[in-house]
């Protein structure tokens, strides 16, 4: 926001509490705060940048919601989505139970396909956070992240990826 002081922003969150925290942090910026779910949010104007962090895994109709929202992204506009990596097999192997609320995690290649169908290109997928399974040490996770942070997702890297970021341009 500091890099684009004349920009206007629309922040959408379903949580009134999160919007209140954002209002406190973003005082002085041109921000429109909207309390809504992604599925129910609608906007008339086009926008230049789309950003979503840890929301898509909670959207029931991911494909239709994303395509509808990305219709409002200007051609040449950019986007970034951060979401959890589904590790259902890894959880099963380690005896961990995944709560129902986290069953909506989306595989990177499926999200990439949805973005392509929505008219996006220059799609890149990289780790956002990593975790070494069965070893709960912050320094090891930090070291691993330093190693893989610039890498594209692949089966080996994916095993350690807790969350990933996918960036794109609207064609």
| Alpha carbon distance 50, 73 (integer Å) | 7
Confidence at residue 87, expressed as pLDDT on a 0 to 100 scale: 72
DSSP-H helix ranges across 28-161? 62-70, 88-94, 108-117, 138-148, 155-160
- Global pTM value: 0.88
Confidence at residue 69, expressed as pLDDT on a 0 to 100 scale: 94
Confidence at residue 64, expressed as pLDDT on a 0 to 100 scale: 94
In the chain, CATH 3.40.50.150 covers: 50-170
Give kind and range of the element (H or E) at residue 19: helix 16-25
| Alpha carbon distance 123, 68 (integer Å) | 18
Q: What are phi and psi of 147, to 5 degrees?
A: -75, -40
Confidence at residue 166, expressed as pLDDT on a 0 to 100 scale: 98
Confidence at residue 98, expressed as pLDDT on a 0 to 100 scale: 65
At which residue do the structure tokens 């799609």 appear? 123
Side-chain half-sphere CA neighbours of 98 within 13 A: 16
List average pLDDT for each run of 10 residues in the chain, which is 171 residues long: 85 95 93 94 92 92 94 95 81 65 83 97 97 86 94 92 96 93
Confidence at residue 1, expressed as pLDDT on a 0 to 100 scale: 78
CATH architecture of the domain with range 50-170? 3-Layer(aba) Sandwich (3.40)
């Amino acid at each position: 926001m500091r890099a684009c002081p004349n920009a206007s922003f629309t922040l959408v969150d379903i949580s009134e509490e999160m919007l209140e925290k954002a209002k406190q942090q973003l005082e002085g910026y041109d921000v429109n705060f909207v309390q809504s779910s992604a599925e129910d949010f609608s906007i008339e104007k086009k926008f230049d940048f789309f950003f979503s962090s840890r929301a898509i895994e909670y959207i029931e109709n991911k494909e239709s919601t994303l395509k509808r929202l990305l219709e409002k992204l200007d051609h040449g506009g950019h986007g970034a989505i951060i979401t959890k990596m589904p590790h259902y097999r890894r959880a099963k192997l380690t005896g961990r139970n995944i709560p129902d609320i986290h069953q909506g995690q989306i595989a990177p290649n499926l999200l990439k396909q949805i973005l392509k169908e929505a008219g996006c290109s220059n799609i890149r997928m990289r780790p956002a956070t990593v975790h070494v399974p069965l070893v709960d040490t912050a320094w090891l996770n930090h070291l691993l992240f330093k190693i893989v942070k610039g890498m594209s997702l692949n089966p080996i890297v994916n095993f350690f990826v807790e969350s990933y970021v996918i960036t794109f341009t609207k064609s």
